Structure 1
């Protein structure tokens, strides 16, 4: 029927691909053309539209390309590389970038990266701890110091002087938190590590940003893990049973 009408027919299309094409073209997926009267018919409202449908050859495969879909809810990205290893790395990097964009859109806000958030929290919590006159002060100070392990590890991984960089970064954020909102030093709150040059920079201007949602979830997960570990009072170790030697065994 389709061939007689001059329509292109594609067989053995995966269900997920069929749903994506239908969503992009503004169509509906039909499992049958049969009607209740026993005839065959197609509802015009279930049809979609696109500017061009063509068959092209990519590498060793023939694929059908749909261009100019009406709704544009789906797109296909073609990755090309010299070998499978490079393609796997490209796919992983592209997937990570899509996940980062997704997190930003879900969160609706971003924070400077490069250890800026962790150092800012460290300075704030140390200042807050001095207002307490109880033993909670010690716990807050230790939690603040634990946050510094993230920028320190970032610097170590980049083969930079972690002690010097983190010390300068703490001084910057301490000055920013003690300054007025319109003071010249208030912009120092956006400073983080520049792991390429081994110095500090305004990571908001440099575009080194992190989704606020991911940062909050990371801190919550790490805190909950530490709490669960601290709740453990003792450990019971199960020693595996030793098998008795067979006196009849021969070496």
Structure 2
């Protein structure tokens, strides 16, 4: 990729300490010691940016293979040594957790801003002036951003166009089919007052079939199966949730009890059985007919549950239990006791979906409080990517319900902001002028990356985009075959996610710009008491610090 340098006004070279031309410190020394780490991270993330980004196979130390193109997942799998790389990863994770998207945006834009900051420092700009100028450019960018939101998602409008960009970024294949399902699920669970609760849309993954075989089920579906003889509750289901085993409180109690003879052992066993019978009878007396447990299922307790027609379901994860608790409005019980407020639904039944099995909790219609998106796929990696894309689409719809404003996608917003900052920066005097131009050049690097990942001629695409934006058409972005009109292609980004991403980039960039040296203090492996532990020749020398980013897969 072509080097990205700040054009326009130039600053005079700052006179610095003279160094010998052949000295190693004079050659290849970075003024920003965090720049090599940022460049290494960006080199890893850049091929995955955008809807045409490539996937990566992450092989962990345990031998597990993960297929993903999601920047946050890739950053999470890296074991980073460089402190600046850790700081940049933390900012990307914060963006991903708060907005569900934009981790790659944070890494790539921060790397581009640090590169431009390196050029400005070499031109003679002081670090304090650079920080103030970058802060002013960030404030100007955030102020200009709402003016580009020319469209809002209407209350009765299909959110497919607004969610496609987010889902397509994370989905491995068939993003259009997955986006339709996510949009339909979000639309079906939207409240009459326009509100939306993310826990109303569940995601269930089942091996087998294709992604086109995915469907929506009314209610909540879990990847589980009944453990006893009762496999369905046709009506009036009352649900209790247990984050413990369905049986004795301590499975190891018979091995730790103090028993003096065979008679004590028989009495202990009878007492344990009577306790289980009493606990299950209490559930039945409280009209509990569905018990979901996250733990081991005791055979004696299961036999007693079958006698009282209680359907026992073993959950696979704690997340499913928490999700059931939020949707049903019933607490999670730590002991085998009736909950103060059991969950109610119309029926609970077992559903066969191809080769997979799911347990469905169905509510009465209208006013269904939950819908489950059942995803099908041939591989676990593909299902994991589809599930992640679905959750990010749900998060994006939640943000749209809070702020329905949309921005042009496909790099059009970044090019428009770059044009505005360039026009203003060329008129400013002092440090703000070059800083505005550097900020604009960093923003242009994002559509360049989109064009590169799409396999297009970067210079030609950027020239056509620049010509269109200079003419006032800021709806031109990067497509599959060249430039596109994002309004006609329905490619949009949410204003909330873009604004949060810019703030995260600005914060981490301003922090890294202030760093002029990275000093690593390491404790010696064998501590020895010595009156003079540092040799005379080594006094005054700091521990050598490597600028390279050390990254390995866990």
TM-score (normalised: structure 1): 0.71
What is aligned with 2:442?
Answer: 146
Deviation at 1:160, TM superposition (A): 1.0
CA distance in structure 1 between the aligned counterparts of 2:293 and 2:499, rounded to whole angstroms: 41
What is aligned with 2:486?
Answer: 203
CA distance in structure 2 between the aligned counterparts of 1:235 and 1:224, rounded to whole angstroms: 19
CA distance in structure 2 between the aligned counterparts of 1:241 and 1:17, rounded to whole angstroms: 48
What is aligned with 1:126?
Answer: 422
Q: Is the 8 A contact 2:345 2:361 kept in 1?
A: no
CA distance in structure 2 between the aligned counterparts of 1:63 and 1:47, rounded to whole angstroms: 15
- Relative to 1, partners in 2 of residues 1:168 and 1:53: Cα closer, same or farther, differing over 3 Å? same
Deviation at 1:117, TM superposition (A): 0.9
Deviation at 1:17, TM superposition (A): 4.9
Show the 5 A alignment for 1:66-77: 66-68=362-364, 71-77=367-373
Q: Is the 8 A contact 1:122 1:144 kept in 2?
A: yes
The higher-RCO structure (CA 8 Å, 6+ apart) is 2
CA distance in structure 2 between the aligned counterparts of 1:80 and 1:30, rounded to whole angstroms: 29
CA distance in structure 2 between the aligned counterparts of 1:67 and 1:226, rounded to whole angstroms: 49
Deviation at 1:203, TM superposition (A): 0.6
Q: Secondary structure at the match of 1:217?
A: helix
1:89 is the counterpart of 2:385 = yes
1:193 is the counterpart of 2:193 = no
Q: Is the 8 A contact 2:345 2:362 kept in 1?
A: no
What is aligned with 1:174?
Answer: 470
Q: Secondary structure at the match of 2:364?
A: strand
- Relative to 1, partners in 2 of residues 1:78 and 1:135: Cα closer, same or farther, differing over 3 Å? closer
For residue 56 of structure 1, the aligned residue among 344, 351, 374 is: 351
Q: Is the 8 A contact 1:112 1:209 kept in 2?
A: yes
Q: Secondary structure at the match of 1:148?
A: helix
- Relative to 1, partners in 2 of residues 1:130 and 1:18: Cα closer, same or farther, differing over 3 Å? closer
1:162 is the counterpart of 2:447 = no
Q: Which runs of 5+ in 2 are unaligned?
A: 1-280, 295-320, 527-554
What RMSD over aligned residues (CA atoms) do the two structures have, in Å? 3.5
- In the alignment of these two chains, the number of paired residues is 215
- Relative to 1, partners in 2 of residues 1:162 and 1:239: Cα closer, same or farther, differing over 3 Å? farther
Q: Secondary structure at the match of 1:90?
A: helix
C-alpha distance after superposition, 1:180-207 (max 9, x if no partner): xxxxxxxx2211111x11x212112211
Q: Secondary structure at the match of 2:477?
A: strand
Deviation at 1:73, TM superposition (A): 2.4
CA distance in structure 2 between the aligned counterparts of 1:135 and 1:60, rounded to whole angstroms: 63
Deviation at 1:125, TM superposition (A): 0.8
What is aligned with 1:10?
Answer: 290
Deviation at 1:22, TM superposition (A): 2.4
Q: Secondary structure at the match of 1:119?
A: helix
CA distance in structure 1 between the aligned counterparts of 2:418 and 2:290, rounded to whole angstroms: 60
Q: Is the 8 A contact 2:350 2:357 kept in 1?
A: no
1:233 is the counterpart of 2:546 = no
C-alpha distance after superposition, 1:11-48 (max 9, x if no partner): 2356535424525xxxx6697779xxxxxxx99xx885
CA distance in structure 1 between the aligned counterparts of 2:416 and 2:356, rounded to whole angstroms: 53
Of stretches 225-234 and 115-124 in structure 1, the one that deviates more from structure 2 is 225-234
Deviation at 1:220, TM superposition (A): 1.8
- Relative to 1, partners in 2 of residues 1:202 and 1:21: Cα closer, same or farther, differing over 3 Å? same
Deviation at 1:76, TM superposition (A): 1.9
CA distance in structure 1 between the aligned counterparts of 2:419 and 2:466, rounded to whole angstroms: 7
C-alpha distance after superposition, 1:72-123 (max 9, x if no partner): 2222221222232332222122222222222332332110111111111111
